[in-house]
């Protein structure tokens, strides 16, 4: 705690904590790997790579979010965001957080369901089958939800800690 805020200071040059900075980077990695995974399965028909990438993303993101939530529960975020407007977070910050949480809750609810159903239905090695139509319907919705979660997290981060 060099800056006077609770928790460990981040490394991106904002008021954010280390956990916030790490999540900014984690979400960027999630979007890149998610895009690559979708490309691999749709354009290259690399079903095994897609399956492995999705399981690793889901598992890794679960660990990152749990660690992030522990930090936020112990150290909070509002003191660090208080520099935005006269000692309290602005309405824009709260709005960005609410939009982000709506996207995040949607993604946390849907993405694991899509992954678990796919793992159960496609077998090993994974290949198209009876579950394919359902997966083609729900997987893009889950991917869009995760992408929106990342984008809204970046908007919240900038408004709360960089402005």
Does residue 46 belong to any structural domain of this protein?
yes
Does residue 7 belong to any structural domain of this protein?
no
Predicted local distance difference test score (pLDDT) of residue 70: 95
Does residue 1 belong to any structural domain of this protein?
no
Q: Considering the entire predicted model, what is its pTM?
A: 0.90
Does residue 8 belong to any structural domain of this protein?
no
Which domain, by its residues, includes 139? 18-162
Give dist(CA 26, CA 158) in Å, integer: 16
Does residue 76 belong to any structural domain of this protein?
yes
Give dist(CA 153, CA 27) in Å, integer: 8
Mean of pLDDT over the chain = 92
Predicted local distance difference test score (pLDDT) of residue 143: 96
Predicted local distance difference test score (pLDDT) of residue 3: 73
Number of Cβ within a 10 Å radius of residue 65: 14
Does residue 87 belong to any structural domain of this protein?
yes
Does residue 10 belong to any structural domain of this protein?
no
> Which of 18, 1, 2 is CA-nearest to residue 161?
18
Range in 28-37, 47-56, 82-91 the model is least confident about: 82-91
Share of the chain above pLDDT 90, in %: 83
Does residue 32 belong to any structural domain of this protein?
yes
Q: What is the mean pLDDT of residues 122-130?
A: 90
Neighbour-count burial for 26-46, b at 16+ CB within 10 Å, e otherwise: bbeebbebbeebbebbeeeeb
pLDDT above 50 (res 85): no
**Which residues are within 8 A (CB) of 56 and not within 5 positions of it... i.e. 6 or more apart?**
33
| Helix%, strand%, coil% for the chain, nearest 5 | 75, 0, 25
SS3 128: coil
Share of the chain above pLDDT 70, in %: 94
Q: What is the mean pLDDT of residues 8-26?
A: 95
pLDDT above 90 (res 97): yes
Q: What is the mean pLDDT of residues 127-147?
A: 96
Task: For residue 91, give the H/E element and its range.
Answer: helix 91-122
Report the domain count for the chain.
1
């Amino acid at each position: 705690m060099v800056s006077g805020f609770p928790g460990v200071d981040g490394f991106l040059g904002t008021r954010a904590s280390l956990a916030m900075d790490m999540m900014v980077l984690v979400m960027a990695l999630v979007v890149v790997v998610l895009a690559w995974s979708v490309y691999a399965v749709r354009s290259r028909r690399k079903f095994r790579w897609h399956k492995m990438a999705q399981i690793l993303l889901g598992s890794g993101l679960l660990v990152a979010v749990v660690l992030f939530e522990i930090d936020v529960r112990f150290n909070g975020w509002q003191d660090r965001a208080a520099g935005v407007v006269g000692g309290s977070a602005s309405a824009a910050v709260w709005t960005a957080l609410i939009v982000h949480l709506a996207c995040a809750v949607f993604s946390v609810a849907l993405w694991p369901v899509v992954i678990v159903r796919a793992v159960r239905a496609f077998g090993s090695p994974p290949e198209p089958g009876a579950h394919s139509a359902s997966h083609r319907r729900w997987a893009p919705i889950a991917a869009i939800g995760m992408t929106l979660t990342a984008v809204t997290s970046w908007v919240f981060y900038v408004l709360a800690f960089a402005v």
